[in-house]
Amino acid sequence: IKCGDLFENSVVDEFNECAVSRKKCVPMKSDVGEFTAPNPDILVQNFNIADFTGKWFISSGLNPSFDTFDCQLHEFHTEDNKLVGNLSWRVKTPDAGFLTRSTQQRFVQDPKYPGILYNHDNEYLHYQDDW
């Protein structure tokens, strides 16, 4: 996976898409129940996703695998009743340069619990990012 961050060309892109997404050579880690869902009684009853729009920077809960890149910015807006995040960051290369990377995440609000946002069916790494 790190190779896909450090090198940018169509061969690496095709390999990552095949190995990670189509063939699922990097399996999704199964849920071991370490972080259980909160009791529905304590969830916020009203949450306007438009309140989340704007530029956001990671300031706590850092994961060194994906939260500590230079120039990392998450910019959110609403679109078709979804919260859309345009994420961009820079990856340092071995020759002291950098590559600019970006992706987009789309969050769908849970109809019963508006304080829960789901981000599923991502193209790479077949991950789920629920908030």
Measured over the CA atoms of residue 77, residue 82, residue 83 and residue 89, the dihedral's sign is negative
C-alpha–C-alpha distance, residues 12 and 117, integer Å: 32
| Token pair 């940018």 in the structure block, residue | 8
Q: Give the model confidence (pLDDT) of 17-68 as tens digits.
A: 777 666 667 666 677 777 777 888 898 889 999 999 999 876 555 666 666 6
Question: What does pTM read for this prediction?
Answer: 0.70
Q: Residue 65: what pLDDT?
A: 62
Q: Give the model confidence (pLDDT) of 77-121 as tens digits.
A: 999 999 999 988 888 888 888 888 888 889 999 999 998 899 887
Per the CB < 8 A criterion, the answer to whether 101 and 16 are in contact is: no
Domains of the chain in start order, with CATH, are 51-118 (2.40.128.20)
C-alpha–C-alpha distance, residues 30 and 128, integer Å: 11
The residue type at 122 = N
